[in-house]
Each structure stands twice: as C-alpha cells, then as structure tokens.
Amino acid sequence: MKFKCIIVDDEPPATRILEKYVEQVSFLERVATFNDSLKALEFLNSHTVDLVLLDIQMPQLTGLQLSKIISKDIRIIFTTAYPDFALEGFELSALDYLVKPIAFERFYQAVSKLQSGPKQEVQPSSSADFIFIKTDGKNKFVKLFLKDILYIESLQNYICIHTLEQQFITHSSLRNVLESLPQDDFVQTHKSYVVALKQIESTDNFSVFINNKELPIGATFKDEFFKRIDQNKI
C-alpha cells in the first residue's frame, strides 16, 4: 500500500530535500508540492491525501492554522526550522515533528508511523529527552528535560510540572501532556497526577512519595500503577 502525500513549504531547498526523501520511501507517493498554504488547502478540499509534510512558518496561513482546518483523517508531519512549536504541534495530534535540517533516517522514522495505522498516538522521538512548555507570552516556550520532571499535577484547565528546582504552569490537560511523554518513564497514579517512575522514592497501598511529597493513588489507576511497579521489583 502506498500513502499519498503532499509537501507544503515555501522554501525551495527544503521542498527539494523532502521530494528526494519521499522518492526513496517505497510506501510513499508524492502527488503535489505547494509553496502556498492556501493553494494546498484548495487541493486538499478536492483530493484524497494520507499525509501532509507541512512547514509551520508560512505566509498568509501558517502550518499550525492549516492543520486545524483540514480533515482530521489526514496525518500531518510538521517540518520547521523552529523547535519552539514542538509542544503545540504534538497537541494538534501531529504524527511527528521534524526540525530542519532533517536527516533521512529521522524522516524515515517519522513516516514509518503511517504503517502503524491512523489511531497511533503521537510520541516524542526515542532520542528526544526534552519537551517544550508554553508559558506566558505569544509563542514563548521553555525547554524542559524529561529527567528533571518529578511529577505533573492537574489544575483544572492548567497543569503544573514539578521539578527539583521550580514549577512550570501551562494551559493544557493531563491527558495531553501524558500523550507527549515516553510511556515507559511516566505513569498516571490519580486523576490529578502523573509521576516519573524514576523519581519514586517509595510507595504504599494508597500513596506515592516523591521528593518528600506524598501523592495519592486513585482507585481507577491503582492496578495499572502496581503493574508498572511489579515490572521493576526484585
């Protein structure tokens, strides 16, 4: 099976590289290339496409804006020279997020996710050891290393990410941020808490202790949590 894709990027050198990469992947078929996001939108409204390789910094209509308009059945891989948009890209359920210059190996890793089916959830690259957290101000993000996260707390329409040094509050849901974290390293223990497994100091039947902080274990999450604990016990 071949997946039909289009490239949307206003930089000719970038489009040439992506066209070359697509040609080297046996399960991809490039059906069009656009340097104008509005023309790409017109094409998508009348043609069936499986994947859009989409630049973010585009005139008239940005890649992020375009991704919110097109059919949810179309998978998107963002391609950009600006890593600051990574978190927002993941929140928009992008298949992946590639930062230029893009190596072919990284490109192949991203497009291979198409073969896992349309319901595949977005996960950071296995080599990614950080996420970007949107803070106050337009397009202002803070880079946060995963190893520094102790736990994440839900605050209604916001989340608070706790580290040893400080706390980061951003407008998001616990579900969204959990989907953007490596599942092997983080687990939800309560409707209001996600914890880093490596940071757990101890646990009992009702609580998890991290950095001298006691966090509750909810009944809904108890079985799954202790399954994760069992995987690492001796």
124 falls in which pLDDT band (50, 70, 90)?
very low
State mean pLDDT over 89-104.
Answer: 76
Q: Which residues contact 166 (CB under 8 A, 6 or more apart)?
A: none
Average pLDDT over the chain, rounded to an integer: 84
The residue ranking higher by pLDDT, 133 or 38, is: 38
Q: Give 140's pLDDT tier (boundaries 50, 70, 90).
A: low
| pLDDT (tens digit per residue) in 150-194 | 999 998 778 899 998 888 888 778 887 887 788 888 999 999 999
User: What confidence tier does 60 reach under pLDDT thresholds 50, 70, 90?
Assistant: confident
210 or 84, which is more confident?
A: 210
What are the tens digits of pLDDT across the range 10-20?
A: 999 999 999 99
CB 190 within 8 A of CB 183: no
Is a pLDDT exceeding 60 seen at residue 137? no
Q: Which two tokens stand for residue 77?
A: 């891989």
Q: Which residue has the higher pLDDT, 81 or 21?
A: 21
Confidence of residue 127 (pLDDT cuts 50, 70, 90): very low
Position 13 scores a pLDDT of 94
Q: Which of 87, 11, 22 is nearest to 49 (CA)?
A: 22
Long-range contacts of range 128-135, CB-CB < 8 Å, 24 or more positions apart?
131/86, 131/87, 131/180, 131/181, 132/83, 132/84, 132/85, 132/86, 132/87, 133/87, 133/161, 133/168, 133/170, 134/87, 134/88, 134/170, 134/171, 134/172, 135/168, 135/169, 135/170
Percent of the chain with pLDDT over 90: 47
Tokens 């016990």 belong to 233
- Asked whether the predicted pLDDT for residue 105 surpasses 70, the reply is yes
pLDDT, one tens digit per residue, over 208-218 is: 999 999 999 99
| Residue 234 confidence (pLDDT) above 70 | no
d(CA 167, CA 79): 30
Question: Can you give the pLDDT at residue 92?
Answer: 57
pLDDT over 60 (residue 89): no
